[in-house]
Amino acid sequence: MDNPEECKVCFENYDETSRRPRTLPCGHTYCSPCIGGTIKHGQLSCPGCRASHSAAHPTQFPINYGMEALVRKLRAVQLVQNKMTTPSAPQLPDEECTMVMEISGDSWLKLQLQKSKMGHIIDANQESVSQLDQYRAQLDDWKTQHCHLLDRLTGIVEQNKVVLEMLKQEETRVLGMKKEGEERRKQVKDTLGCIEAVSTTQEADAAIVQAERCNEEAETWMQKCQHLFPDVNTITMSCRAEELRMMRQPVKSQVEAGQVFGIHRDQDRLRSSRITTENGYLYLHCLQDQPPPPNAHTLEVSELVGSLDPSSTLVFLDLCWTGSPRRIHIRLSPDTPLARQFVLLCTGIKGPSYIKSSFIEVGGFRRQGEFVIGGDYENNDGTGGVPLFSDLHGSYRVCRTAGAVWSRWGSGDRRSAQFCITTRDCKGNIPRVFGMVEDGLDVVRAAVNHTNIKDVMVADCGIVLARKLFNL
């Protein structure tokens, strides 16, 4: 027989502490620990229907309050049945026995259910008010960020004034909703006090009607909170996409329509690069030897690259061998010449780029310290890859972990534009490390295990623009 109060993965009963029921977008409900245990690499596969959902933590899925109410009701019914049918059950206090004798059994049962439900509403109300406080703090942070933008970006002063007004209106709504929530909580507490003081069936029936009306108003308020304001637990995780949607919707639409391009003017030609958005990131692709389409919106590539965070740069490589290209992200330390050279070869600003270059060789195949070599943009055979800088000396890291991006050749070697990516941890230190694979190391490992490593090609490359550029 199906037991709705049980999680279908661990078969433990739901509760209101550690095993709260949470509902996935596919409609199935499981307890918080089972959902947390299913999340792997930012993805969750539903144990029931195998639907895939993006997830980082169980708290981003909503609590199934209906299921919690059902569990409480089943427990209350079971408690009453035990009291009525078990001769050895503990006796009620004299005052409660008198109340039960004067109140009909059905009304008494309803009173207990209302008490349990209203206690839960008080807790849920407090949680919602706490989330509103956190959301208000987030709004304050956004206001501060846009005040700074007003000082630096004179071209979008009027647009940021509109954003500030929106944030002030949001803050006013938060304060209003918080005040209403506090009133609802007080009303629930007062009604709960009335329920505990009833002594006759007539008073019980009146208290039940009042409690139902009070509960309905409190639940309506909480539903308004859920519709009007985001879950504070996911604000940080979704901040990039929300900024692009809320702050500059016209720009977002133009980027998604393929109407925004980066441009770079050489002495005798105009080159362009695509700007795309995916999963909340804004990508600047490698420059191509062609002008942008007519009526396209353009931005100078040199300005975009120059506006990146000077302490960290995120680049991407799209690797292709069989099937569709698969993307990897590499976090560079641009205070080193090798990292600055890597950025130039990903964007093509100086002319050459890594596009259409193949992986050359695998070192230490399937052993500790395994690595793959690529980046010969000249010959694709390991003999080329002339550096873009005459001096590549610098203060480089050393490490032993998989994902390190480093140079096999020292400064002065005509192959110094080549790069290596380590795919297995090693015993000794890896020299001249100027980056780490932040996402997609599994893609590099899959490429290494391909039959012919020289089939693996860089189909595209570029940089990930900083969030502040979403507002251009």
Give the helix ranges, DSSP H, for 86-155: 94-102, 105-152
For residue 86, give both structure tokens.
Answer: 């078990």
Q: For residues 170-207, b (16+ Cβ closer than 10 Å) or e, as one string?
A: beeebeebbeebeebbebbeebbeebeebeeeebbbeb
Q: Mind listing the pLDDT tens digit for each residue in 87-122?
A: 544 444 555 545 444 666 677 777 878 888 888 888
CB 129 within 8 A of CB 178: yes
Least confident stretch, 24-33, 91-100, 256-265: 91-100
Q: Mind listing the pLDDT tens digit for each residue in 345-358?
A: 999 999 999 999 99
Q: Are residues 83 and 139 in the same domain?
A: no
Residue 1 lies in a domain: yes
Q: Are residues 80 and 108 in the same domain?
A: no
| Domain CATH code at residue 44 | 3.30.40.10
Q: Which residues sit opposite 464 in a β-bridge?
A: 283, 314
Give dist(CA 375, CA 352) in Å, integer: 11
pLDDT of residue 450: 92
Least confident stretch, 56-60, 99-103, 155-159, 234-238: 234-238
Answer with the one of 32, 56, 90 that is the final residue of a domain.
90
Answer with the one of 237, 266, 293 that is the final residue of a domain.
237
**Residue 18's pLDDT band (boundaries 50, 70, 90)?**
confident
pLDDT of residue 324: 83
Residue 97 lies in a domain: no
SS (H, E, C) 435-461: EEEEECHHHHHHHHCCCCHHHCEEEEE
Q: Are residues 382 and 322 in the same domain?
A: yes
Give me the DSSP letters along 19-65: S-EEE-TTS-EEEHHHHHHH-BTTEEE-TTT--EEE-S-GGGSPB-H
Query: What residues contact 411, with CB distance under 8 A and at least 6 apart?
Result: 337, 387, 391, 392, 393
Q: Which helix (H) or strand (E) holds 422?
A: strand 419-422
**Residue 243's pLDDT band (boundaries 50, 70, 90)?**
very low
Least confident stretch, 252-261, 375-384, 439-448, 454-463: 252-261
pLDDT of residue 260: 86
Q: Which residues sit opposite 422 in a β-bridge?
A: 371
Residue 96 lies in a domain: no
Answer with the one of 237, 264, 298 that is the final residue of a domain.
237
Q: Are residues 223 and 294 in the same domain?
A: no
Residue 258 has pLDDT above 90, yes or no: no
pLDDT of residue 86: 52
Q: Are residues 117 and 188 in the same domain?
A: yes
Q: Are residues 262 and 222 in the same domain?
A: no
Q: Which residues sit opposite 285 in a β-bridge?
A: 462
For residue 291, give both structure tokens.
Answer: 């002008």
Residue 211 has pLDDT above 90, yes or no: no
Give dist(CA 437, CA 431) in Å, integer: 16
Give dist(CA 63, CA 379) in Å, integer: 58
Q: What is the pTM of this model?
A: 0.49
Residue 279 lies in a domain: yes
* Higher local confidence (pLDDT), 72 or 284: 284
Share of residues in the chain with pLDDT > 70 (%): 82
pLDDT of residue 363: 94
Query: What residues contact 75, with CB distance under 8 A and at least 6 apart?
Result: none
Domain total of the chain: 3
Least confident stretch, 166-175, 260-269, 403-412: 166-175
Residue 268 lies in a domain: yes
pLDDT of residue 326: 94
* Higher local confidence (pLDDT), 448 or 36: 448
Mean pLDDT for 286-309 is: 83
Residue 219, SS3 per DSSP: helix
Residue 79 has pLDDT above 80, yes or no: no
Q: Mind listing the pLDDT tens digit for each residue in 402-415?
A: 999 999 988 889 99
Q: Which domain holds residue 153?
A: 102-237
Mean pLDDT for 215-223 is: 84
**How much is the mean pLDDT over the chain?**
82
Residue 247 lies in a domain: no
For residue 198, give both structure tokens.
Answer: 């009833």
* Higher local confidence (pLDDT), 59 or 321: 321
Give dist(CA 282, CA 299) in Å, integer: 14
Mean pLDDT for 123-139 is: 86
pLDDT of residue 283: 92
Mean pLDDT for 128-142 is: 86
**Residue 378's pLDDT band (boundaries 50, 70, 90)?**
very high
Q: Are residues 220 and 283 in the same domain?
A: no
For the beta carbon of residue 370, count every other beta carbon within 10 angstroms. 19
Give dist(CA 432, CA 342) in Å, integer: 13
pLDDT of residue 235: 38
| Domain CATH code at residue 367 | 2.40.100.10
Q: Are residues 149 and 193 in the same domain?
A: yes
Least confident stretch, 9-23, 100-114, 176-190: 100-114
CB 139 within 8 A of CB 174: yes
Q: Are residues 26 and 140 in the same domain?
A: no
Q: Are residues 266 and 381 in the same domain?
A: yes
CA angle 349, 351, 356 (to 5 degrees): 105
Alpha carbon of 316 to those of 65, 101, 295, 437: distances in Å? 42, 75, 28, 9
Q: Return the residue matching tokens 């009620």.
A: 92
For residue 130, give both structure tokens.
Answer: 């706490």
Q: Mind listing the pLDDT tens digit for each residue in 221-241?
A: 888 777 666 555 433 332 333
Give dist(CA 441, CA 435) in Å, integer: 13
Residue 369 lies in a domain: yes
Mean pLDDT for 50-66 is: 86
Residue 8 lies in a domain: yes
Q: Are residues 281 and 329 in the same domain?
A: yes
* Higher local confidence (pLDDT), 311 or 314: 314
Q: Are residues 466 and 352 in the same domain?
A: yes
Q: 46 burial class (0-12, 13-18, 19+ CB within 10 angstroms)?
A: middle
